[in-house]
Amino acid sequence: MVGYEQTLERIHAHGRFSGTPCLDRIRALLAILGNPQKKLKFIHVAGTNGKGSIAVLSASALQQAGYKTGLYTSPFIMDFCERIRVNEQMIPREDLCRIAAQVAEKEQQLILPEGEHIGEFEFTTACAMQYFAEQACDIVVLEVGLGGRYDATNIIDAPEVAVMAHVALDHMAVLGNTVEEIAADKSHIVKPDSVLVNYPEQKDSVDDVLARRCYEVTAQYIKAPMPEIASCTLEGTDCVIDGKPFHLRLIGRHQAYNAATAYAVLQVLNKKGWHISAQAITDGFARAGIAGRQEIVQTEPLLMIDGAHNVDGVTALCATLDDLLPAGGISLVLGMVADKQYEACVQMLVRRADSVYTVQPDNPRALDSRTLTTMIRTFSPYCNVIDCGDVPSALKRAVRYADESDAVIVCGSLYVAGEAKNALADGII
């Protein structure tokens, strides 16, 4: 059997984009595999920010309720196998290798139009469907990769519940230049005669787009309840949803809104005949965690890793910094990719920093660290900026020069978050 590293090379060799936006390729691939997705039930989660948190919260509660729960997310932070999980356990590497070999063998039998091929996300989605069906999952929480209309995950029939996380500007080159256009693309996860649960605090025009889609396909539209935030600390978030108190490990006020969305999803499932008790929801929410999202990995000095990579995500990070670290003493380990709205993100972040250690993520789309350094000096001429090039060097330097009461925030990209986590695992500090 092909080894793990060779399997990853095979998967990544498919490339990010694969031809005309459509579902024809993934439909053909899954058909030749026997349509494993037809054997499964789904919660389908789309949106710009918060998809991962809503997915993890929902999956955690379902697992606490006794259901064998699959979870498909992207991207990964440290290990590719994070993307495909059953009851919190990553797909074993040997299973990924075996299933990827099966999918690759079937892929060779496909006859696709000229210029078209199976892309990486399509291939990975096929592997996930095959594994979840093999594991006989009771339900799968399925996170959209990009958009909705032509995302490979949208090959499924009507899910038990479709979910819309917060919609904001991102991937404009693919999805549209306004939040309304982006919402319209994402709204196509809503199937005829299904149910959509919508995030409690969307822009009004986004709500209108989503409600219109539900009307057009005779789907039920449900707005998640507004949460009441009791407290937000470095130990987590306490909130009240529908009159019930919850404690979240997840940090940041925005996580209360994600929890309210997951809560509404679980109530829909209960009305459909699933059995998720109030205690299962409470326990599931309390234990749910997500790597690289305002994740505290060390204290004295505080070290937080956050993969926020667009304006909406960086706004949430800045709100947390303002709430929890008002005294300052903040150093950033900052790197971004060039196809994001990096200038707006950088302006928000550097206003809160005393020092910035710039890095270049190990990714072809990375923004050069020298360009980032020059930009920061333009935006904030009095900020201490050091071009470190790579994440391990920057992390080591930032922690070394921070006082015990200071905070080091690793941010700007999920690629940076992953490299920081790997560096810490290797004992860099």
Cα separation, 199 vs 222, in Å, equals 9
CA diameter of the chain: 61
Strands 69-72 and 84-86: antiparallel
Size of the chain, expressed as the number of residues it contains: 429
Q: Would you say the pTM of this structure is higher than 0.85?
A: yes
pLDDT per residue, tens digit, the chain (429 aa), is 689 999 999 999 998 877 788 999 999 999 999 999 999 999 999 999 899 999 999 999 999 999 999 999 988 888 999 999 999 999 999 999 999 999 999 999 998 998 899 999 999 999 999 999 999 999 999 999 988 999 999 999 999 999 999 998 764 445 657 889 999 999 999 999 999 999 999 999 999 999 999 999 999 999 999 999 999 998 999 999 999 999 999 999 999 999 999 999 999 999 999 999 999 999 999 999 998 889 999 888 999 999 887 888 899 999 999 998 887 799 999 999 887 678 889 999 999 999 999 999 988 888 999 999 999 998 888 889 999 989 999 999 999 999 988 999 999 998 999 999 999 998 887
Residue burial 304-313, b: 16+ Cβ < 10 Å; e: rest:
bbbbbbbbbb
The gap between the terminal CA atoms of the chain, to the nearest Å, is 37
What is the layout of strands, in order, in the sheet containing 244-248?
228-233, 236-241, 244-248
Contacts of 172 (CB under 8 A, 6+ apart): 182
* Residue bearing tokens 């070290």: 303
| Of residues 72, 69, 67, the one with CA closest to residue 52 | 72
